[in-house]
Amino acid sequence: MAITTPKILEFARNFLNCPTVDGIPLENDGGDGSLGAHWERMVLFNEVMTASTIKDSVFSGFTASLVADSGWYGFDKN
């Protein structure tokens, strides 16, 4: 399972400097609360939207892109 929305792909390709990235994987382990519902920790490490809380987690452009693509939230660019 992977997220393949337009902003995710654009951000991932720029961030990873890889024009062939075709999605960012979701968690493939765990229970109902994490499996397929969070970023894969092995890929995005300390990103806030991975399935566990760790010290110094970050809200990265990956999550910002997902939020923007979802249409549920927006960002004030000021």
Rounded to 5 degrees, what are φ and ψ at 7? -70, -35
Residue 78 lies in a domain: no
CATH no. for residue 39? 3.90.132.10
Residue 29 lies in a domain: yes
Residue 77 lies in a domain: no
Each residue's pLDDT tens digit, 5-35: 999 999 999 999 999 999 999 999 888 889 9
Residue 24 lies in a domain: yes
Confidence of residue 61 (pLDDT cuts 50, 70, 90): very high
DSSP 27: P
More confident site: 2 or 76? 2
Rounded CA gap, 25 and 5, in Å? 12
Confidence of residue 78 (pLDDT cuts 50, 70, 90): low
